[in-house]
Amino acid sequence: MESPKSTKLVRYKAFKLPKQTSDETSILEPSAFNFSVTSEWQVN
């Protein structure tokens, strides 16, 4: 399982995607956000 730091990078990249991939961003954002929060919660 990835560390919280790596999930934050994924979350950051998801928000930084070009607007032309807004459809993909809408799919990636919730997943990246939820996975990041879940990882941090498990670690803490």
Query: What is the reported pLDDT for 44?
Result: 46
Close Cβ partners of 13 (under 8 Å, ≥ 6 residues apart): 32
The pTM of the full predicted model, rounded to 2 decimals, is: 0.16
Residue 12, CB-side half-sphere exposure with 13 Å CA sphere: 6
Separation CA 10–CA 29 (nearest Å)? 9
Q: For residue 9, give its domain range.
A: 4-43
Separation CA 40–CA 23 (nearest Å)? 27
The number of distinct structural domains making up the chain is 1
- How close are the terminal C-alpha atoms of the chain, in Å? 15
Query: What is the reported pLDDT for 12?
Result: 57
Tens of pLDDT, residues 20-43 = 555 555 555 555 555 555 555 555
In one-letter notation, the amino acid at residue 34 is: N
